[in-house]
Structure 1
Amino acid sequence: MPSANRKIGVIGLGFGAQVYIPAFRSEGWEVAAVCGRNRDKAAKVADAAGVHSVYTSAKELIARDDLDAVAIATPPRAHHDLAIAALRAGKDVLCEKPFALDAKQAAEMRDTAEHSGRTAMVGHEFRHTPQRAYIKELLDDGYIGGFQLCTIELFLDRYVTPEPRPLTWMASEPDGGGLLGALGSHYIDGLRHWFGEVASVSGHLAILRPDLIDPKTKAIVKSQTDDAFLFTLAFENGGIATMVASFATTPPRGAKIVVMGERGTLIAEQPGPNPMENGVVVASRDGAPLQPLATPAQYTPFTDDRDHRLMAFRLLVRDFTKGIDQRVSPSPNFTDGLRCQEVLDGVRASSKSGQTVKLR
């Protein structure tokens, strides 16, 4: 069935409204229904997008028999139940990251997807950004020889404010908040994509800016989740990766990824949390000076001026659509979501125990 004849329902209207809805519509899907907790806000999103059906009950949306797929863009606490319900209802599923609250939930989601025979993928669109895709090609082609070490630094000032920032689900542990899950999961997925499975992990979580304002009571409350983290991953195939990140540092310095191998180095930088459409890879091989490499045109098949995240996400939607046509679940799929969740759990366990956690 061509995507123009397919219908999808979108649950969660933050990132769902900003990226999921325009991405699916641009790729020929009909967004037939949306669901949000606040009916007035959901109705505004639906009206702006030309969607006629609005729900505040995700179960009612999932129960519609005219939907081919469901996109889940809610906070993580809802992912497990919604994904399983949608799969059992015969829907193909695209689920936002972080995938689940823990590996037990993630395994149940993966198992349900496999038993359903439906296409089930995770919203790790960073794989499709030009920088990340080109680094994957260079690594696979042996540009820097055998992989040895990767370092990632990400320093932003989103939580550096004159007054305490408002309390949201991102500061709630039961809701699956925290920087490690929200952004670290993207980078962990990318590291697995480049270097293979993770054998062991150590890490530390921190709360550098704990004070928040409860919008309802106006009282000062404390964050339950990390706004800074660091981890070290050792890979089954050899090599080590480290990452240190914070949303509570000033001035912001963006992100820098350095990949080092036996013969050379690859460097990718970006000004914010997300890779850009025009990102460049700087490289050195066999002792030559660092120089920018021309990114192959295939990794920027089009641009989308509405939001710098849309090109990569639309490419993910194309993979999702192709997976449905072929009755497979392309990567990043629910198995990838499980493997990423195992690493996230390992970082949290290591932070509590001070010990390295072996995954396999």
Structure 2
Amino acid sequence: MMNSRMLFYFQRFSMSGSRHSIAVAAEVTISNWAAPGSSPSDVADVVLPNTVADSARHGTAQLPVLSVCERLQLHSAALAWRGCGLNERRFPKVAQAKINSTGLEKLVDDLLLRCWSDWRWFTHRVPLGSSTMLPGVGVFGTGSTARVLVPLLKAEGFEVHALWGRSEEEACCLAKELGIPFHTSRSDDVLLHQDVDLVCIYIPPSMTRQIAVKALGIGKNVVCEKAATAVDSFKMVTAARYYPQLLSIMGNTLRFLPAFVAMRQLLVEGYVGELQVCDVRVYGPSLLDQSYGWTCEELMGGGGLHTVGSAIIDLLSYLSGTRAHRVHGLLRTFVQQNGLIRGIRRVTSDDFCFFQMLMGGTGSSSVCCTVTLNFNMPGSFVHEVMVVGSTGRLIARGTELYGQRNGSKSEELLVGDNGWVGPEVKEMPLPLLQGLSSMVKALRQSFQAKEERRCWARGPVATAPTFEDGLYVQTVVEAVKRSSSSGEWECVEIMSQEPDPNQNLCEALKRNKN
């Protein structure tokens, strides 16, 4: 038996969810470690931020007299640093008890021993629990995607506990419409909500990085849309790597569409032979909002290339199993003003985009990809992805998949449209709608495979794009934009470290000196 005394310092999160900068010291006796070779110092490194754990390795302090709920909440906050938690739900009877400081010290010891008695549970290797639990969900956004996502989540058994909107009025209106009990315009209120363990972020790209990184930092699983820049994407990748036990995926729903899942499988099986050409066409109505906003601004992530083209770039990488190394593109903004956007304001985001990508090997072994995006066609929608190989071709039209081998006189239907039984949404095309539904089902299967609600299985969401994929996609998008400005082919170079924020200033000063 090994006995050791340790002093833990960590930040307190109150029961209401607001943050208080109160350093709490608790003298804890830890004994009877079940795992051979484990030590209290090992646990300190896992439970607490390293900078705190190092400074609080040893010491003694007077145990503060706090309520049981406060103590449990403090420990829940400490454990949340590494994405696992101990909260009132695991000890409902204890949380209602009233004891003195002596009994409280014993209770804390018992709770810590119970939490750490099985080291495998603590590291999320073998979760404990008597019943399957799905994580509570917090949704960021009040747009068309959020309106569809919430009913889909509820249909699969998820409980949506909180909704964030840009204004209290927006959040309140949608929360009442969708039956969500809590709404707010402050992001921290959702992230610190005690019932939220999965965060779905569908907000303007310029805000995505801030919310996603913060959510991972306090132990929440994250599903989010694309960021605005490659630098933002890199910061998201860094956060995801630091918390590998947490779910962190991009919300490109096309990967989950049954037609593309089947296309990927047929390509692996050699239906088309050696892949040679990919050709994509997406035509539809304007992507602009009814009023001037981020969709009008290219720098804020608006435009067809960033909004739709990023999903296509990711899809082609998923289908081909390769990545682009050179790109060439052309972007145009044909509608710079309309009846609602006029005066001094002008649209800078693109409504037409054409780009080419060389993917995979070099020279003649590269896969040639062409993508055409045109959002000047009101009243119509075309979504067609064709891959051509040495022995045949596959074509996905909308939600249906067709195939034709060389020598065959006609196409064959490989995956049909089984019909959409959910609500119709004018702002969301059917391929994205069905893909979103399939992604939510995959999330349910992923979390149901584990007994602890914060744990997830990789299998059901193995095809989902990671934050690394998001960084690659954003790098390609920026390379296409550079090519449109220069008129030249541009190389795709994924950043390996965050650039110096003062780099442009330093270069300007050097030029002035010369």
Q: Does 1:116 align with 2:243?
A: yes
- The number of equivalent residue pairs is 342
User: 1:2-17, aligned counterparts within 5 Å?
Assistant: 5-17=134-146
Is 1:319 the counterpart of 2:442? The answer is: yes
Alignment equivalent of 2:316, drawn from 172, 191, 195: 191
Residue 304 of structure 1 is matched in structure 2 by 421
Instruction: For 1:313, give the aligned amino acid.
Output: L
Deviation of 1:257 after TM superposition, in Å, equals: 2.3
Who is 2:336 aligned against?
210
Q: Equivalents in 1 of 2:211, 2:204: separation in Å? A: 11
TM-score if structure 1 supplies the norm length? 0.87
Instruction: Determine if the alignment matches structure 1 residue 27 to structure 2 residue 153.
Output: no
The alignment partner of 2:162 has SS state of: strand
* Contact 2:298–2:350 (8 Å) recurs in 1: no
For residues 17 and 337 of structure 1, the distance between their equivalents in structure 2, rounded to whole angstroms, comes to 20
Partner amino acid, structure 1, of 2:486: S
Considering Cα pairs closer than 8 Å and 6+ residues apart, tell me whether 1 or 2 has the greater RCO: 1
| 2:369 paired with 1:241 | yes
What does the per-residue CA deviation read over 1:199-244, in whole Å, with 9 as the maximum and x for residues that have no partner?
Answer: 11111111011114557xx636210111110111111243111011
Segments of structure 1 that go 5 or more residues without pairing to the other structure are 271-278
How far the C-alpha of 1:3 sits from its partner, in A, is: 7.2
Q: Counterpart in 2 of 1:290?
A: 410
Question: Aligned in 2, Cα 1:208/1:95: closer, same or farther, shift over 3 Å?
Answer: same
Contact 1:213/1:221 (CA < 8 Å) preserved in 2?
no
Of 33-42 and 280-289, more deviation after overlay is shown by 280-289
Per-residue Cα deviation, 1:295-326 (whole angstroms, up to 9, x for no partner)? 28xx96x9532244444213212433416423
| Aligned position for 1:86 | 215
Aligned to 1:138: 266
Letter in 2 for 1:295: V
Q: Compare the two structures and name the one with the higher strand fraction.
A: 1
* Deviation at residue 29 of structure 1 after TM alignment: 1.0
Larger radius of gyration: 2
CA offsets 1:165-216 (integer angstroms, 9 cap, x no match): 642321113321111111111111110001121111111111011114557x
Matched, 1:266 2:397: no
Q: What is the match of residue 46 of structure 1? A: 175
Q: Give the TM-score of the pair, scaled to structure 2.
A: 0.62
Following superposition, the deviation at residue 263 of structure 1 comes to: 0.8
Distance 1:352 1:143 in 2: 39
- Quote the offset at 1:16 in angstroms: 4.0
Give the C-alpha shift of residue 102 in structure 1. Answer: 1.6
Alignment of 1:308-347 (within 5 A): 308=430, 309-321=432-444, 322=446, 324-326=455-457, 330=462, 331-347=464-480
Question: Which consecutive unaligned segments of at least 5 residues does structure 2 have?
Answer: 1-128, 425-429, 448-454, 494-514
Q: Given the alignment, which residue of 310, 329, 351 partners 2:484?
A: 351
1:242/1:46 Cα in 2 relative to 1: closer, same or farther (>3 Å)?
Answer: same
The answer as to whether partners of 1:23 and 1:310 remain within 8 angstroms in 2 is no
Q: Partner of 2:83 in structure 1?
A: none
For 1:339 and 1:101, the matched residues in 2 are separated by 13
CA distance in 2, matches of 1:146, 1:42: 50
Distance across 2 between alignment mates of 1:327 and 1:260: 31
Equivalent residue for 2:297? 172
